[in-house]
Structure 1
Amino acid sequence: MRGAKGLATAVRTPDGEIEVTFQNTAPLTKKYKILGMPVLRGFVALVDSLIEGVRALNYSASFFEEDDEPSKFEEFLEKMFGKKSNDILMGITFMISFIFAIGLFVAFPTGVTSVFKNVGLGVIGLNIVEGIIRVSILLLYMYLIGKMEDIHRLYQYHGAEHKTIFCYENELELTVDNVKKFKRFHPRCGTNFMFLVMLVGIFAFSFTGWNSLLERVASRIVLLPLVSGLTYELIKWVGMSDSLLSRLIAVPGLKLQELTTREPDDKQIEVAIKALKTAEGIKDEEKTIGELLEEGNKRLKESGIDSYVLDCQLLLGKVLKRDKLYIITHREEKIGKYNIEEFYSLVEKREKKMPLKYILQTCEFMGLELYIKEGVLIPRPDTEILVESVLEKIEEEKEVEVCDLCCGSGAIGLSIAYYRKNSKVDLIDIAEDPRIVTCKNISRFSLEERAEFIQSDLLKEVIKMQKRYDIIVSNPPYIRNDVIPTLMEDVREYEPHLALSGGEDGLNFYRRIIEESKLVLKVNGILAFEIGYDQGVDVQNLMLEKGFINVKIIKDLAYLDRVVIGELKVD
């Protein structure tokens, strides 16, 4: 990348790091006023960019050839020219490339066009034919070399360059996500330049006549500075103008970039961002993991978060995609600006008492790492008592059909499906967020064949479908309306009230579920509830009144009522 501060070359090394070399030098057209004159500056810029391109490729290759033995020719150059041997070798490479290009794109098309000399096309007609042949060769050449693995990767970096420049020109923050939003086709691309050189050449060469092959090749070489200079001015205008004409002129070159660019991956975009920032003199703010943890700890402690140390470790781990042990043991590692900003944004959410599990979007339940987000209740360890009580009722090899009613994240039903391989589970909830989260968790644990989400107001839809279940398990909303304002701030402000409110006495959903369950439970089917610590007897009596038998209250580890489970009586 060439920018306001100089020329930067960034390389992704074999160990995954990004190495950058920087030259604080202005282009020749700015160093010497005479070389910056219109038209002349175009040819100078072309030669300069070709030289820098070869130098950049040579620099990149140096990271991957450290163990290669130098050839005898390289040893000879080293002996003859010492430290300048590399520049001599680069010059030779440049000359060979130039001769190859002249042969392929000038001499060969001119020679082939000579076949049409005797068909009466005239000089202009012959130049048009020559131009068509030259463009065809260019297209074929670009396509064929793009099949090579190294060139394909080069095309990806070409695409990364364009997307990054677009992002910078649109004054957006240079992040991978922002860069990915832009197209990989840029109107000021060198590909456009090559294509327009050929079109301008058709016009310019029309004044040279059609003499011997040697004269024609010589005239095209002589006129190359003029043609490239005129084309440079044209492409500068195309890049700055938004007129219809400029857009029409840019179209062929933009289409040609479909051959010379490929969609880059994230790591290639990171390299392009690094090069552009260095070239433009944009400094990244850096802090160590230790410094960020200290700042985060201070902020959360002042906000009254008791678990501030652990919370900061987990939040930074989410940003860096690392586990807690890595965060603890790499306190001196430096973190870039964008990761710093992301960490601060997560700390701010936690300062406002957003539950940590919503921020991390993960929650461990029954040994499973569930995906969760706002809109579903965070699974609690107490609810594991309900799952364990139901699992005890299911023999390992027995085939059972289970309904997880008011499923939320799907924690209960998916745990049953995961630990009982012959079970089939329907997960039911009324809201959209539970559908999104549950379906993602079904996929996460590869349970698509044995688990299905059904959107329904309690059991209404499955009653219509005439489904039958061996077990219905539910953790319904059971908190009394007058209690909700007294809940902890993180629960009251962030968890869905739809999943909390159980009506005036907290028993509304138990009444409805008990009544509706009689229509979908199989013979001797089981109904199991999680309950509030003071609701055991009330829910037990509701079930007994509706014909359930063997209704038991199960206590949690704190010896509080936590589960009510019973069987539907069959006459």
Structure 2
Amino acid sequence: MSNPSPSVYGGQAVIEGVMFAGKHVHVTAVRRKDRQITFLEVPKKPTPVLNAIKKIPFVRGIIGIVESAAKGSQHLTYSAEAYAEDEAGPEEAAKPKEKERWNLTMILGVAVVGILSFVVGKLIFTLVPAFVEDLIFSQAFENKIMHNLLEGGIKIVLLLVYLWFISQTPLIKRLFQYHGAEHKVISAYEAGSELTVDAVQKFSRLHYRCGSSFIIFTVIVGVIVYSFFSWDSMAERIIQRIILLPVVLGVSYEVLRWTNALRDVPVLKWLGAPGLWLQLLTTKEPNDDQVAVSIASFNRMRELDSEIAAPRVTLAKQA
């Protein structure tokens, strides 16, 4: 059965599972050691102010990034705790212990950690390449555009080396497999395909609307944005990068949306190619069990979305 205008959904790989974000709820499905699938279901709280801001071009990207970092950390923590519990062994698991609840304090704590981790990571990948480029090429020439291009090249090299290095660990490799499973499910849904393991496995693990694509676009957009500004010292260059970071993030988000909208247009679809190439590192081909977990998460998210939306539709009709 075809679905000509499917809703736009996003997701995230977690440890031994996948999280999907719906209109009204975030759902994570995790494969436990006993082969069972458990779920974390977190309804979205209505935030009219944020919803209004997220409609503003260039600003909505920054809000969405911060929100995703906060939510993603909560679900990643859930999966990490489930993994640690499974790895603890029967003796440790048998010990009495208090069950932690996702109370307001804990959620806020995890959200802050997630946002800070994102900000710190982004600053490192923004500032370190500038330091390295200045150290090597500061006396080589005066052309600022060339310095920006070299800075961008160093940033890409560091990013690729970092991603390749962490992908060699078994845990991260499996995380990247779940990332591929998440993409396959979204692609299958958007194509109107049946969401079975066999059907979903036929789709690509690469997707235009991916956070990995966003990362590479921040590098490209950064080179362009920085070229409009000059600096006279390394300190000025660093301060400039920090001040312009929100601009780079906001523009990169719009570029990501634009390339996704053009992905079916011949020639223009190649605008999204750099992001897809990076996904060759950040995704791996999933096995059938991993795809099954991704499907379970997606189906549960859509089921809860429908249940939460139903009373709102009824109230609207009565009004």
TM-score normalized with structure 1 length? 0.45
Alpha-carbon shift at residue 27 of structure 1 (Å) = 8.4
The residue type equivalent to 2:211 in the other structure is: G
| Aligned mates of 2:192, 2:152 — CA distance in 1 | 39
Alpha-carbon deviations, 1:37-85, whole Å to 9, x = none? 111001111111122221111010121334599xxxxxxxx9xxx9725
CA RMSD of aligned residues (A): 2.6
Paired residues, what number?
Answer: 272
Highest RCO, 1 vs 2 (Cα 8 Å, sep ≥ 6) = 2
Q: 1:134 to 1:8 in 2, by over 3 A?
A: same
| Aligned mates of 1:18, 1:2 — CA distance in 2 | 18
Alpha-carbon shift at residue 210 of structure 1 (Å) = 2.6
Q: 1:94 to 1:21 in 2, by over 3 A?
A: same
Alpha-carbon deviations, 1:234-253, whole Å to 9, x = none? 11121122234531211111
1:33 aligned to 32, 52, 60, which one? 52
Tell me which residue corresponds to 1:264.
286
Give the secondary structure class of the aligned counterpart of 2:151.
Answer: helix
Give the secondary structure class of the aligned counterpart of 1:174.
Answer: coil
Give the secondary structure class of the aligned counterpart of 1:19.
Answer: strand
Q: Is the 2:71–2:111 contact (alpha carbons within 8 Å) kept by the matching residues of 1?
A: no
Matched, 1:49 2:68: yes
Unmatched 5+ residue regions in structure 2?
A: 1-19, 93-99, 306-319
Alpha-carbon shift at residue 281 of structure 1 (Å) = 2.5
Tell me which residue corresponds to 2:131.
111
Following superposition of structure 1 onto structure 2, how do residues 163-182 of structure 1 map, counting pairs within 5 Å?
163-182=184-203
Tell me which residue corresponds to 2:276.
254
| Aligned mates of 2:193, 2:235 — CA distance in 1 | 52
Matched, 1:197 2:223: no
| Aligned mates of 1:83, 1:169 — CA distance in 2 | 35
Q: 1:251 to 1:96 in 2, by over 3 A?
A: closer
Alpha-carbon deviations, 1:479-498, whole Å to 9, x = none? xxxxxxxxxxxxxxxxxxxx
Unmatched 5+ residue regions in structure 1?
A: 70-77, 284-571
Tell me which residue corresponds to 2:161.
140
| Aligned mates of 2:68, 2:110 — CA distance in 1 | 17
Matched, 1:208 2:229: yes
Following superposition of structure 1 onto structure 2, how do residues 433-444 of structure 1 map, counting pairs within 5 Å?
none
| Aligned mates of 1:89, 1:189 — CA distance in 2 | 23
Matched, 1:228 2:249: yes
Alpha-carbon deviations, 1:262-299, whole Å to 9, x = none? 0101111011111111222279xxxxxxxxxxxxxxxx
Alpha-carbon deviations, 1:151-184, whole Å to 9, x = none? 1011000000011111101111110000011110
| Aligned mates of 2:42, 2:49 — CA distance in 1 | 15
Tell me which residue corresponds to 2:298.
276
Give the secondary structure class of the aligned counterpart of 2:22.
Answer: coil
Q: Is the 1:28–1:48 contact (alpha carbons within 8 Å) kept by the matching residues of 2?
A: no
| Aligned mates of 1:53, 1:275 — CA distance in 2 | 14
Alpha-carbon shift at residue 215 of structure 1 (Å) = 2.9
| Aligned mates of 1:240, 1:26 — CA distance in 2 | 28
Q: Is the 2:213–2:274 contact (alpha carbons within 8 Å) kept by the matching residues of 1?
A: yes
Matched, 1:13 2:37: no
Q: Is the 1:28–1:45 contact (alpha carbons within 8 Å) kept by the matching residues of 2?
A: no
| Aligned mates of 1:159, 1:132 — CA distance in 2 | 26
Give the secondary structure class of the aligned counterpart of 1:58.
Answer: helix
| Aligned mates of 1:245, 1:226 — CA distance in 2 | 28
Hey, which of these two has a bigger chunk of helix by percent? Answer: 2
The residue type equivalent to 2:27 in the other structure is: A
| Aligned mates of 1:174, 1:27 — CA distance in 2 | 30
The residue type equivalent to 1:45 in the other structure is: G
Tell me which residue corresponds to 1:124.
145
TM-score normalized with structure 2 length? 0.78
Q: 1:208 to 1:266 in 2, by over 3 A?
A: same
**Bigger radius of gyration among the two:** 1
Q: 1:149 to 1:201 in 2, by over 3 A?
A: same
Hey, which of these two has a bigger chunk of strand by percent? Answer: 1
Tell me which residue corresponds to 1:304.
none
Q: 1:205 to 1:27 in 2, by over 3 A?
A: farther
Alpha-carbon deviations, 1:450-508, whole Å to 9, x = none? xxxxxxxxxxxxxxxxxxxxxxxxxxxxxxxxxxxxxxxxxxxxxxxxxxxxxxxxxxx
Q: Is the 1:5–1:280 contact (alpha carbons within 8 Å) kept by the matching residues of 2?
A: no
